[in-house]
Amino acid sequence: MYRRGKVFNLSVRWPLFGLGSSGKGAPIKGIPSGSVANDLFKRSQYYHPSPGNYAGKSSYGEAAAGAMASTTRPNLGIHLYANKENAWDTYTNDRFYGAKRLKEYWKRMMADRGVRYYFFTVIIVMLGATAKLWHMQQMQTLEGGLLGPKKKAYHSRLTIVLDVDETILSYGDKAFRLKAGLIPRPYLAELLDYLTTIDAEVVLWSACSDRYMRQVLGVIDPSGVRISHYIIRNNDWFTRDHYYEKNIMWLKRSLEDTLIIENRPLSVRNCNANAILLDDFIRGEYMDTGRDHPMNDHALHTIKNVIEDLERTGMSVPEYLQNEEVRNKEINEIPCHLCIRQLPDEIARGVFYFIGDKYTM
């Protein structure tokens, strides 16, 4: 009876983790000897931050540090966040902290001679490859011109170059830019349809941006079958001033078979033998009359007849324009020095061919 009662006596306390050297239970690290094991799972047992500690602090880090310093009891337990005491040790308000660390890392890396040789070799190789690509591009431009090789074998021998603004269409000037839309010149559709029928190479050449050129193509060539190439403003030919030039020799096409249509004599001053000047087509000048173009504007219809004559006769473009008996009767000529002042002597002795009333003497 005595042994039986001794075994089942509930007043006996069994140690949880065995007996220590003193005969008592081994203390758990971080817990006082008189604490209860259930206190391990109480989150904020030892933290009693005083209210209002965040007031006047410049950052959350200082506020957290103040809360840590205001504890009323020592942190003797195992907190849910084991490293909370060291969480703000590396905190900084320096916005350039990452850049400074990167700079330090770069200095340590560049201190190695092998790393320096590697980066130097990579830079030399990249510079050499860039120079080679630039040289290849320049040689390709010199050989193929601004257009490059022809896209296909065209049935017609002619290459027709058309200026855009104030020649085949009008977008108004600055005063009427908001009111005047993109208006094609009369007979433009007829001219482009004929050029498509004979399968001639048609080039748009304008000192405009790529975005504006795409808007123009969306109006005059939505299907993409009328225009073969287009040239926009770039450093290959545009001089960024009013004296820029459109020389058909830069296209690397046959001069005997190339015709350029322009409204500025200054643009074709070095290829006037292959150029036909037209009157300026500006819709803003006719808006007060309720019309988009003057009554007698049939310049593009005359250009269509000129191209028909070139196809029928087989004559070269300079020869056709120079022959007054064969060329279209609407084509007139005027000495170059009357159109443009201060021209070189070799150009001033030539003539400009034009259609319309702009240069009528």
Confidence of residue 15 (pLDDT cuts 50, 70, 90): very low
Give the highest mean pLDDT range of 16-20, 83-87, 89-93, 258-262: 258-262
Strand partners, 19: 25
Q: Does residue 361 lie in a domain region?
A: no
- Residue 124: inside a domain, yes or no? yes
pLDDT at 138: 85
Task: Residue 261: give its domain's CATH number.
Answer: 3.40.50.1000
Residue 165, in any domain of the structure: yes
Q: How confident is the model at residue 171 (pLDDT cuts 50, 70, 90)?
A: confident
**pLDDT of 23 above 60:** no
For residue 116, pLDDT beyond 90: yes
Is beta strand 258-262 parallel, antiparallel or unpaired with respect to 159-162?
A: parallel
Question: Per-residue pLDDT for 144 more than 70?
Answer: yes
- In this prediction, residue 101 carries a pLDDT of 92
Is the pLDDT confidence value at 223 over 70? yes
Assess whether pLDDT exceeds 50 at residue 53: no
Whether 355 contacts 303, CB under 8 Å: yes
**pLDDT, position 238:** 94
Give residue 8's pLDDT. 47
Q: Which residues contact 105 (CB under 8 A, 6 or more apart)?
A: none
3-state secondary structure of 161: strand
Is residue 317 domain-shared with residue 208, that is, in the same domain? yes
pLDDT at position 245 is 93
Residues 242 and 258 in one domain: yes
The pLDDT of residue 47 is 46
- Report the sign of the C-alpha dihedral through residues 116, 117, 122, 123, in that order: positive
Same structural domain, 113 and 39: no
Examine the pLDDT at 75 and tell me if it is beyond 70. no
- Is 148 contained in some domain? no
- Assess if residue 336 is contained within a domain: yes
The reported pLDDT for the residue numbered 83 is: 63
Q: Rounded to the nearest 5°, which phi and psi values hold at 183? A: -115, 120
For the cut 90, the answer to whether the pLDDT of residue 284 exceeds it is no
* H or E segment to which residue 260 belongs: strand 258-262
What integer is the mean pLDDT of 314-338?
A: 93
Look at residue 7 in the predicted model and tell me its pLDDT: 46
Does one domain contain both 107 and 199?
Answer: no
Pair (158, 208) in one structural domain: yes
Q: Is the pLDDT of residue 360 over 60?
A: yes
pLDDT at 20: 44
35-51 per-position pLDDT tens digit: 444 444 444 444 444 44
CA end-to-end span of the chain: 146
Q: How confident is the model at residue 355 (pLDDT cuts 50, 70, 90)?
A: very high
Give the chain's mean pLDDT.
79
d(CA 319, CA 312): 14
pLDDT value at position 117? 95
In a domain, 24, yes or no: yes
Percent of the chain with pLDDT over 70: 67
Q: Could you tell me the residue range of the domain that residue 347 belongs to?
A: 153-355
| 287/308 same-domain check | yes
* 85 shares its domain with 226: no
Among 71, 93, 115, give the residue marking a domain's end: 93
- Domain endpoint, select from 93, 126, 161: 93
The whole-angstrom separation of Cα 176 and Cα 102 is 55
Is the same domain home to 136 and 41? no
- Looking at per-residue pLDDT, the higher value among 230 and 21 belongs to 230
Chain mean position to CA 35: 70
Per-residue pLDDT tens for 298-309?
A: 999 999 999 999
Query: Are residue 256 and residue 345 in the same domain, yes or no?
Result: yes
244 with 330, same domain: the answer is: yes
Same domain, 119 and 176: no
> Which of 70-84, 190-204, 290-304, 344-358 shows the lowest per-residue confidence on average (mean pLDDT)?
70-84
In a domain, 239, yes or no: yes
How many structural domains is the chain composed of?
3
pTM of the predicted structure, to 2 decimals: 0.64
Residues 85 and 227 in one domain: no
Sign of the dihedral defined by the CA atoms of residues 21, 24, 26, 29, in that order: negative
Inform me whether the pLDDT recorded for 55 exceeds 80: no
Share of the chain above pLDDT 90, in %: 51
Residue 360 in any domain: the answer is no
- Binning pLDDT at 50, 70 and 90, where does residue 1 land? very low
